[in-house]
Structure 1
Amino acid sequence: MKDKLKKVTLKGNASFNFREGWLRKGMRCIAQDPMLFTRDNVMEQLGVGSKMVSSIRFWLKACGLCEEKYINNSRARELYLTENFGEIVFQYDPYFDDIFTLFILHYHIVSNQALCIVWNIFFNEFSGIDFTKEDLVSMCSNLLQKKMEEGATFSEESLKSDCDYILKMYLSPTKIDDPEENLHCPLTVLGLIDKSPSDNKAYIKTSPVTDLLDKLAVLYVISMNIPEGRNSVSIRDLENAPNNIGHVFNLNRVKINEYLDELRVAGYVTINRTAGLDMVYLNNKYKPSDILIEYYKKAQMR
């Protein structure tokens, strides 16, 4: 990271991960009224309490589904569906029934350093082998301190809370320590965190089941990380670069090559492994939004 952080957003989720139906309801209401979250009746419209209202607003932005716009240079802010993601999901998968959409939401959360810095650190920089909650908090604290400007501080309690909610967001409800935590986040189905097979009090990062992670979700993340004007990326960068498929989806080199071969056979990429180059070339100038639309249109025909 070239620029050190002056401040970070911690515990922006108001102590809630998003729950089944929250994003759908929020998107529907925002499409009807961009000023929804400034209205006195917002709790009535969403059917939740005040802290949950704040959480829904946070996750709509953190997931890349919505963005805020100031009105005529005033402090009033409208919330709109993002053109290249929110509007597409709202059109093709408004109920978030397709696990493909959930994987894309996950990518946007992990890559959103401004709002989800602990998620960003966990997936990009934290080792995923047999770690406890205490290990997670300690390591994330150390890594975050290195990113901060000298003298800048953050709340250790808020950091601890975010670490706890990472585990709750991705761990199967049957494996969460707190038996009362039964309102789980939809992202638990992605299979990215599990209990350690060697220590019931520890956790591990896991790769999603191949049949669940569609190759076009992989292509979407690749395309989001290729700089404008280029159409190629090294396999090393796919594995190791921040916010790319290796870190975002917990994929090792073998899994990455399996997905690349699927994309090659389907005609989306060309792979050059001669002379140790290990380069991947996109066969067309895909915009990420084009990949989303192509996936959803194919899904509708199944």
Structure 2
Amino acid sequence: MSGALLGAAAEPAFARHETFHLRFGWLRKGFTAALADPEAFSKPNATVDLGVGKNMVNAIRYWCQAYKILETTPNEKRPRTPHLTPSVFGRQLLGEDGWDPWLEDPASLWLLHWKLLGPTCMAPVWWTAFNLFAHEQFEEYQLTDHVVELTAAAGWKSVMESSVKKDVDCLLRTFGVRRTGRQSMDDILDCPTRQLGLISPAAGEARSWRFVTGPKPSLPAAIVAYACLDFLTAVGTKERTISVARLAGDPGAPGRAFRLTESNLYDVLIEAVKSVPQMRVAEPAGLRQLIVDGDVESLRDQIINNYYRASQEQAV
């Protein structure tokens, strides 16, 4: 069952980051380059234009696609080399008049994290860790072994354990820094998503980690509400009601992505509905539910637009 869930949610993409975790400025750099030239990443002088080495060019390309900032589009002149162009989401977030072109609002990192895990996920190790891995505290090898098992269950062929190990290492460097043991320059260099506080080193061995489950002070209620409606849209149901338990615990749900318990999520939704009259939280017969009045997709888009509009007005 878990293998089928992984196969439906993600594609078998491993170690495409060339061992480089996301760096500050990379998403903006990749977006700007692709906006100016859809062949920016495939040109012979890509390293010169982007100002980084060949492996980093590949890493920037990968992260921009994984975070849904860029997408492939047909190249009529060279069909085997698709163009790489800004996605609708990429333009909305990083465009000249976008929500947050320089990623100055911490909410944008939470939004990007949600997009990274969204369908179709190009980071299956990330998706597995947040959605199909039961351990709150774990050793690196446990996550590696679990992913390897699930890739086989998903029917993915020729997934090398060494590639999974690289992804597990990159995942953990994305969110934290080992407290003990020998550290490489990549371990030390900061990563914007470390601000999210989702995974941290655990007491004990150098390769022991824990998920940080509980309230997230930097996570706006509007981003959670957006993610809940996005999830409700993605599950393919026409229902406008969903239990908070599902929003907290289903694979692919906001509670999993943001490491929120059902109680945490309920509290955030109570705050969110105060400014969204088309949404309400009810508790019939003790079952907590999120109820949407109107079109779910339209309300989802309205919530995110209203959040960034208000954020920009406050910044002026």
The TM-score normalised by the length of structure 2 is: 0.86
State the match for 2:266 in structure 1: 257
Any idea what SS the aligned residue of 2:291 has?
A: strand
* CA 169–176 in structure 1, closer or farther in 2 if over 3 Å, else same: farther
State the match for 1:103 in structure 2: 110
Q: CA deviation at 1:275?
A: 1.9
Q: Which moved more, 1:15-24 or 1:271-280?
A: 271-280
* CA 135–4 in structure 1, closer or farther in 2 if over 3 Å, else same: closer
8 Å CA contact retained: 1:12, 1:115: no
Q: CA deviation at 1:38?
A: 2.1
Structure 2 unaligned blocks of 5 or more: none
Q: CA deviation at 1:89?
A: 0.8
* CA 164–112 in structure 1, closer or farther in 2 if over 3 Å, else same: farther
8 Å CA contact retained: 1:112, 1:120: no
The TM-score normalised by the length of structure 1 is: 0.90
State the match for 1:67 in structure 2: 71
**Aligned partner letter, 1:292:** I
**1:13-92 paired onto structure 2 within 5 Å:** 13-72=17-76, 74-83=79-88, 85-90=89-94, 91-92=98-99
State the match for 2:228 in structure 1: 222
Structure 1 unaligned blocks of 5 or more: none
State the match for 2:242 in structure 1: 233
**Aligned partner letter, 1:265:** K
* CA 3–258 in structure 1, closer or farther in 2 if over 3 Å, else same: closer
8 Å CA contact retained: 1:191, 1:207: no
Q: Which moved more, 1:42-51 or 1:200-209?
A: 200-209
Distance in 1, Cα, partners of 2:99 & 2:117? 23
Q: CA deviation at 1:233?
A: 1.5
Aligned-residue RMSD, C-alpha: 2.4
**1:134-153 paired onto structure 2 within 5 Å:** 134-148=141-155, 152-153=157-158
State the match for 1:9 in structure 2: 13
Distance in 1, Cα, partners of 2:206 & 2:164? 23
* CA 299–147 in structure 1, closer or farther in 2 if over 3 Å, else same: same
Q: CA deviation at 1:258?
A: 0.9
8 Å CA contact retained: 1:26, 1:56: yes
* CA 59–29 in structure 1, closer or farther in 2 if over 3 Å, else same: same
Please give the per-residue CA displacement for 1:17-64, whole angstroms capped at 9, x wherever unaligned.
120111111111211112211222211111100010011111111001
Distance in 2, Cα, partners of 1:264 & 1:29? 39
* CA 132–2 in structure 1, closer or farther in 2 if over 3 Å, else same: closer
Q: CA deviation at 1:14?
A: 1.6
Any idea what SS the aligned residue of 1:34 has?
A: coil
State the match for 2:175 in structure 1: 170
**1:156-235 paired onto structure 2 within 5 Å:** 156-171=161-176, 173=177, 175=179, 177=181, 178=183, 180=185, 181-197=187-203, 201-207=207-213, 209-227=215-233, 229-235=238-244
Q: CA deviation at 1:196?
A: 2.0
8 Å CA contact retained: 1:104, 1:217: yes
Q: Percent identity?
A: 24
**Aligned partner letter, 1:196:** A
Structure 1 consecutive aligned stretches of length 4 or more whose deviation exceeds 6 Å:
none
**Aligned partner letter, 1:206:** V
8 Å CA contact retained: 2:125, 2:167: yes
**Aligned partner letter, 1:242:** P
8 Å CA contact retained: 2:215, 2:264: no
Number of equivalences: 298
Please give the per-residue CA displacement for 1:234-269, whole angstroms capped at 9, x wherever unaligned.
112101212111110111111111111111222352
8 Å CA contact retained: 1:190, 1:208: no
* CA 163–235 in structure 1, closer or farther in 2 if over 3 Å, else same: same
